[in-house]
Amino acid sequence: MNVWVFVEEANGAPAPVGLELLTKARQLGEVSVVFLGSADDAIAELGRYGAAAIFKLTPTDGVLPAAGAAAAIAGLVSANAPDLILFGLTYTDRDVAGRLSARLDRPVVSNASDVRSDGGVVTVTTEIFGGSELVETAIRAEAPALVIARPKSFTAEPGEERTPAVTEVAFPDTGHAGSAAITAVHVEESTGPKLEDADIIVSGGRGLGEAEKFDLMEQLAGKLGAATGATRAVVDAGWVPYAKQVGQTGKTVKPNVYIACGISGAMQHLVGMKDSGTIIAINKDPDAPIFDVADLGIVGDLHQVVPKLIEALG
Ligand SMILES: Cc1cc2nc3c(=O)[nH]c(=O)nc-3n(C[C@H](O)[C@H](O)[C@H](O)COP(=O)(O)OP(=O)(O)OC[C@H]3O[C@@H](n4cnc5c(N)ncnc54)[C@H](O)[C@@H]3O)c2cc1C
């Protein structure tokens, strides 16, 4: 099977989800990358993850790249006939995949947690009802199959190192569609580990009671070298920014340890953190659904338990 992975450059390196998808793609067949970026280091890194060929699209500063990227990939598809193109569930990847789907008149299956080849038919797994049910979708449309996968569905591991053949690909003129301009980019200021990459996450829910109490999460996270996360209830209340939201409409995380404080365990939250290594829940309600997925649970008032933990950690 001829598998392509769309990979965007992020801070001079391949976006982490791109490396996860490359790792999966190696299990499915011969791997090529459509790389939206320019850093040479990133290209070498793609080779370390098994990319045999790279189609390189160098974005122009200030231009939103998706329309041009989709048009370029559509041209490459007719010349190279890939069987499957994998995208990550990110803003740019989704933008490109949707436009490519329209250009090629092929379906796109999104939100995938797994993808495999069943006798040459691309079959995609998606989770519904908070991961309690799995849906298998066989893509019987003409190739290429277009699949968008959730971050953290696969663990990124280098392997089958190659020195990829790099082909520079020009952005075709897409007229009006390609005229959207980037007028400003704001990088969110943050301290400590990034939520998506953190080994330990301390997450707070509505049980905190008020915005000021989120400081307890920050203090505990500080002791553990952890990142802080939150539920949508907390984000909607304006206690913390959206960047901290874990769940269906927030981030998907997979730390070694996830500490859920005052979080009920609604399925929309669980879907974003249930694959964490060890889940520790602190909740005063012994029947809270979070305890169904927790490895360790403390039934108690977080306003008493968390300060004790902070104290014990010195
Ligand atoms: C389309 C859609 C998308 C959504 N996406 C997301 C998403 O991405 N992420 C997300 O998180 N939610 C999401 N939600 C919302 C989700 O359904 C829940 O409403 C939300 O997760 C609840 O947040 P919570 O656990 O903080 O609050 P609650 O459900 O109100 O739970 C608070 C918990 O705190 C406990 N508690 C209270 N006081 C204390 C105390 N002193 N000590 C210890 N425990 C205490 C309570 O027993 C309770 O279990 C989505 C909903 C919809 C409809």
Domains assigned to the chain: 2-178 (3.40.50.620), 195-312 (3.40.50.1220)
Whether 204 is in the pocket of ligand 1, judged by its Cβ within 6 Å, is: no
Which pLDDT score, from 0 to 100, does residue 187 have? 79
Give kind and range of the element (H or E) at residue 189.
Answer: none
Q: Which of 274, 252, 261 is nearest to 198 (CA)?
A: 252
Provide the pLDDT confidence category of residue 131 given band limits of 50, 70 and 90: confident
User: Which runs of consecutive H residues, i.e. helices, occur in 177-246?
Assistant: 214-224, 232-236
Residue to mutate, 128, 203, 284, ligand 1, most ligand atoms under 8 Å from C-beta: 284
174 pLDDT above the threshold of 90: yes
Whether 132 is in the pocket of ligand 1, judged by its Cβ within 6 Å, is: no
Whether 269 is in the pocket of ligand 1, judged by its Cβ within 6 Å, is: yes
User: Which runs of consecutive H residues, i.e. helices, occur in 4-65?
Assistant: 16-28, 40-48
**Residue 290 Cα, ligand 1 centroid: separation in angstroms?**
10
- Summarize the confidence of residues 210-221 as an average pLDDT: 97
**Residue 111 Cα, ligand 1 centroid: separation in angstroms?**
22
Which pLDDT score, from 0 to 100, does residue 186 have? 84
Whether 213 is in the pocket of ligand 1, judged by its Cβ within 6 Å, is: no
Provide the pLDDT confidence category of residue 194 given band limits of 50, 70 and 90: confident
* Residue 265 falls in which region: left (phi positive, over 0), alpha (psi -120 to 50) or beta: left
Q: Name the residue with the closest Cα to ligand 1, atom 18.
A: 266
Whether 153 is in the pocket of ligand 1, judged by its Cβ within 6 Å, is: no
